[in-house]
DNA sequence: GTGAAAGCGCTAACAT
DNA sequence: ATGTTAGCGCTTTCAC
C-alpha cells in the first residue's frame, strides 16, 4: 500500500497540517520538526499524489494560443492540434482558447496580447512577430508573471519563458546538405523562395543554408531570395518570374510556406529540366509532390508535438515544476519517399 | 465555474449516485432517468474530472517492462527512459518495474513472463522474441485480460494489444534510398551487417532495403548479410572478414547494433576506400562517427518517445480509453550532420 | 430504481 | 508552532 500523508504524520508524530507545511515548504515549522517529517518521508518512500493535491487546491488552468490565420497549411494543422489537445485536457481541468491573428502583422498581435486579462490566464503561447509593439505587450504580461512561450518562430530578445520549435539554422543547413548530396557533382544555380525575409525563422533557415553551401558546395550558387508571403499564388508568380529570368537552376529550396505555388511550377516544368527540390512542412500537398517525385525531400516539424509541448511547458511554468528537456526538443525531421509517416 | 456532478444532479433532479450510474454506464437506471441526466450533462457542458474519479476509485497502475540486458546502447537508453518516466509517474499512482532479460533467448523471456502474477500487474511491455514459448506465455496473460505491448521488435502473430516501434520495412527502404542517392552514379557492392536474421526487425529492414535497391539502384549490389549478434567485437570481426574477401564495397548498411565494431573498421580503412555508411540508432558513438564523416546518415527511433508511448498506451488499455494514434506513431528519423539534436 | 453518506489523499481555513 | 476540521469532485457501499 502506497504511503499517504497520514502515514507520514503518524511516523513523524505530527499532524497532517504539519506534514503539509513541510511538504509545501511553508514557513512556521521548527527546524527539528521539519527534519522529523523529512526523515519519515524518506523512510516511507512517500510521494505526494499530485492529482489529489490539485483537486484539493481547486487548481485549474486557462491557456491562450495566438495563431496566425489564413491558408498556411502548417498553421491550420497547428491550430487543429491545439484544439484537439485542449478538448482532451478538459477532463484534467485545463481550458484552451485559440485566438486567430492576421499574419505578418505585429500590431494586430500586440493588440490581441493587450486584450488579455492577466488575472484570467495561466499561460500564453504565440507565434511571435518581432515588432516593438509585441515586445511591449510581452513586457506587460511578464510584469504579471504570466508564462509565455513562443511557437514555431522565436523572438529571443523579448521576454518569454521558452521557444518551442525547431532550430531553423539547422533546418537550413539540412536543406543545403540534402541538395548538395542529391545533386552530386552537378554545377549550377539554386532558387530560394521564402515567405518574408523579415520573419526570423525564414531568415535563420536561409543563413544555415548559405553556411553549408559556401563551405561545402561551392559549385552550387544560391540566387537571391524571392518572397511569396507564404501564399500559394504570390509564391507561384514570384518563382515563375525568377525561373524565366534565370536559366540553369538545378536546385530549389522553399524556405517558407506557399508550397502549392512551388509545386505547380515544378509540375509545369519539363521533367528533364526540373530542379531537385527541398521544401518545408509535410502537408497533403507536399506529401503528394514527394510521392510524384516533384519534391525530393521534406523538412518537417511536428505540429502535434509542438502543441502538446507548449501545453506541457506552460503547465510546468505555471506550477513551477521542472521541464523534461529531451521531451520538449522539437526535431528537424527529414522525410523522403520511403519514411513518410 | 466548471460544472460538477452536483450541478448535473440538481439540473436533472436526481441524486449524485444516479448521475454516477449514468456517467459510468451502470445498469439499474430507468431509461427516462438516463435521458434526463444526459440532457443535463450536455446542457451544462459537463466533463468528468478524471483525477477526482481516479482518486475516489483508488485506481493505481503497475506496469512491467521486459528489456534485453547487455551492452546494446539502444536498449540501455530505452531502459533509462523507462526508469526515468517511471520515477515521474509515481506521483500519478503508477509504478513501473523493469526486468532484465538475456538477449536472443526466447525461453528466458517466456520464463520471465510466466513468473508474472496477472493479479498484480496492469500491463506489460516487452521487446518481443518470436519463440513458441513466448507465444504460450502471452496467450496465458491474454487469458487474464492483461494489456501487452511489444516494443522495438514486433511479434504480429502473438496476442498483443499493439506494437510500439518503427516500421522496419520503411527504415530499410530509407537506408537504401539514402545510400542510392549519396552514391550517385557509382557502381559497386553494398555490405550488409545485422545482429541476427532471426530477429524480425532486422529481417524487415533488410527486406525494405532490398526492395528499393532492386527497383531503383540496380547498379548497386547488396552482399549477403553477415551477422554480428548486436555485439561490437563480433560485428567488427564479421565485417572485417567480409571486407577482406570482397573488394569493391562502396556502401555499407548496418541493420542492427554493434555500431562500435562497424565504426572501428571504417576508421581503420584508408579514407579513399571508405564506403558510404548508413547505420541505425543515434548513440554517442554513432553521433561521433557522423560528425567525423565516418558515417553518412543515421536512421533513428526515439527511445524516450517509445518508453512514454508504451506507458500511455498501456494506461489507455487498462482504462479502456482511446489512444491518440498520431501521437503514438514512432517516426523513422533521419539524421545527417546538420540536423543532429 | 434511487438516494444518503462515508471516504479517496491532499489543502486551507480556523483554532489553540 | 502545531492541530482540527471541512472540503475538492467523484465513487461506492448500504439503505430504502
Residue B280 grid coordinates: 541505425
Is the C-alpha dihedral spanning B291, B334, B281, B171 positive or negative? negative
List chain C nucleotides near protein: any atom < 7 Å from a Cβ.
Answer: 1-14
State which H helix or E strand residue A123 sits in.
Answer: strand A123-126
For residues B45-62, average pLDDT: 96
Residue B210 has what pLDDT? 98
> pLDDT tens-digit profile of B283-293?
999 999 999 99
Q: Cα A9 to chain center, whole Å? A: 44
The full set of domain ranges for chain B reads 5-48, 57-164+303-329, 168-300
Residue B184 grid coordinates: 550517385
CA–CA–CA angle A51, A53, A57 (5° rounding):
115
> pLDDT tens-digit profile of A110-147?
999 999 999 999 999 999 999 999 999 999 999 999 99
d(C-alpha B142, C-alpha B146), whole Å: 6
Residue A146 CB contacts under 8 Å (≥ 6 apart), including other chains: A118, A121, A122, A123, A124
Residue B1 has what pLDDT? 83
Residue A340 has what pLDDT? 97
Q: DSSP character for A119?
A: G
> pLDDT tens-digit profile of B237-275?
999 999 999 989 999 999 999 999 999 999 999 999 999
Check CB contact under 8 Å for A308 and B326.
no
Q: Do B222 and B194 form a contact (C-beta atoms < 8 A)?
A: no
Lowest-confidence range among A68-72, B110-114, B209-213? A68-72
Query: Does pLDDT of A214 surpass 90?
Result: yes
Residue A1 grid coordinates: 500500500
CA separation, residue A67 to residues A113, A209, A220, A304, B263 (Å)? 12, 27, 36, 14, 46
- Helix, strand, coil shares, percent, chain A, to 5: 50, 15, 35
Number of H helices, E strands in chain B: 14, 12
Query: Does pLDDT of A279 surpass 90?
Result: yes
d(C-alpha B280, C-alpha B295), whole Å: 10
Chain B residues in contact with A324 by the CB 8 A cut-off are 88
Comparing CA positions, the residue from A284, A282, A283, A265 lying closest to residue A274 is A265
Query: Does pLDDT of A1 surpass 90?
Result: no
> pLDDT tens-digit profile of B292-309?
999 999 999 999 999 999
Residue B41 has what pLDDT? 97
Chain A residues in contact with B308 by the CB 8 A cut-off are 327
Residue A70 CB contacts under 8 Å (≥ 6 apart), including other chains: A102, A103, A230, A231
Q: DSSP character for A98?
A: E
Number of H helices, E strands in chain A: 14, 12
CA separation, residue B308 to residues B148, B313, B327 (Å)? 15, 9, 11
- Residues B5-48, CATH architecture: Orthogonal Bundle (1.10)
Residue B139 has what pLDDT? 98
Q: Chain A to chain B, count of Cβ pairs less than 8 Å apart?
A: 104
Residue B76 has what pLDDT? 96
E strand residue ranges, chain B: 61-68, 94-101, 123-126, 148-151, 162-164, 188-194, 220-222, 226-227, 249-254, 276-280, 297-300, 333-335
Same fold, B57-164+303-329 and B168-300: yes
Residue A123 grid coordinates: 499561460
Q: Which numeric CATH code is attached to B57-164+303-329?
A: 3.40.50.2300
CATH superfamily of B168-300: Response regulator (3.40.50.2300)
Among B181, B185, B331, the residue with its CB nearest the CB of A333 is B331
Please provide the average confidence, as pLDDT, over all residues in chain B.
Answer: 96
d(C-alpha A129, C-alpha A145), whole Å: 21
Residue A16 CB contacts under 8 Å (≥ 6 apart), including other chains: A5, A6, A9
Nearest-Cα distance to chain B for A63, in Å, is: 15
List chain D nucleotides near protein: any atom < 7 Å from a Cβ.
Answer: 1-14
For residues A101-109, average pLDDT: 95
Among A49, A177, A338, the residue with its CB nearest the CB of B170 is A338
Query: Does pLDDT of A270 surpass 90?
Result: yes
Residue B234 grid coordinates: 563480433
How many beta carbons lie within 10 A of that of residue B284, not counting itself?
10
Task: Round to a whole number and report the distance in Å from the CA of A26 to the C1' of D1.
Answer: 12
Burial class for A133, CB neighbours closer than 10 Å (0-12, 13-18, 19+): middle
Q: DSSP character for B118?
A: G
Amino acid at each position: 500500500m502506497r504511503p499517504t500523508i497520514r502515514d507520514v504524520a503518524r511516523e513523524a508524530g505530527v499532524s497532517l497540517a504539519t506534514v503539509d507545511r513541510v511538504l509545501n515548504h511553508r514557513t512556521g515549522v521548527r527546524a527539528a520538526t521539519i527534519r522529523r517529517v523529512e526523515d519519515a518521508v524518506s523512510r516511507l518512500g512517500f510521494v505526494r499524489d499530485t492529482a489529489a493535491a490539485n483537486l484539493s487546491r481547486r487548481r485549474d488552468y486557462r491557456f491562450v494560443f495566438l495563431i496566425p490565420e489564413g491558408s498556411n497549411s502548417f498553421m491550420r494543422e497547428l491550430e487543429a492540434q491545439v484544439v484537439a489537445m485542449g478538448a482532451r485536457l478538459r477532463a484534467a481541468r485545463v481550458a484552451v482558447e485559440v485566438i486567430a491573428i492576421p499574419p505578418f502583422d505585429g500590431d494586430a498581435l500586440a493588440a490581441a496580447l493587450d486584450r488579455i486579462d492577466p488575472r484570467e490566464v495561466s499561460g500564453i503561447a504565440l507565434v511571435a512577430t518581432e515588432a516593438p509593439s509585441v515586445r511591449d505587450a510581452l513586457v506587460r504580461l511578464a510584469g504579471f508573471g504570466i508564462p509565455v512561450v513562443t511557437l514555431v518562430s522565436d523572438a529571443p530578445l523579448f521576454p518569454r519563458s521558452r521557444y518551442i520549435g525547431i532550430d531553423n539554422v539547422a533546418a537550413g543547413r539540412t536543406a543545403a546538405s540534402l541538395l548538395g548530396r542529391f545533386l552530386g557533382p552537378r554545377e549550377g544555380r539554386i532558387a530560394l523562395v521564402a515567405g518574408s525575409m523579415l520573419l526570423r525563422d525564414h531568415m535563420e533557415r536561409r543563413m544555415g543554408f548559405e553556411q553549408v553551401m559556401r563551405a561545402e558546395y561551392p559549385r552550387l550558387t544560391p540566387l537571391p531570395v524571392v518572397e511569396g508571403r507564404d501564399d500559394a499564388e504570390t509564391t507561384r508568380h514570384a518563382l515563375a518570374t525568377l525561373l524565366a529570368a534565370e536559366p540553369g537552376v538545378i536546385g530549389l529550396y522553399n524556405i517558407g510556406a506557399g508550397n502549392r505555388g512551388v509545386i505547380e511550377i515544378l509540375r509545369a516544368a519539363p521533367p528533364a529540366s526540373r530542379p531537385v527540390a527541398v521544401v518545408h512542412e509535410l502537408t497533403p500537398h507536399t506529401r503528394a509532390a514527394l510521392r510524384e517525385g516533384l519534391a525530393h525531400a521534406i523538412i518537417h516539424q511536428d505540429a502535434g508535438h509542438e502543441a502538446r509541448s507548449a501545453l506541457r511547458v506552460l503547465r510546468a511554468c505555471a506550477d513551477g515544476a521542472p521541464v523534461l528537456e529531451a521531451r520538449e526538443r522539437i526535431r528537424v525531421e527529414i522525410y523522403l519517399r520511403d519514411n513518410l509517416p
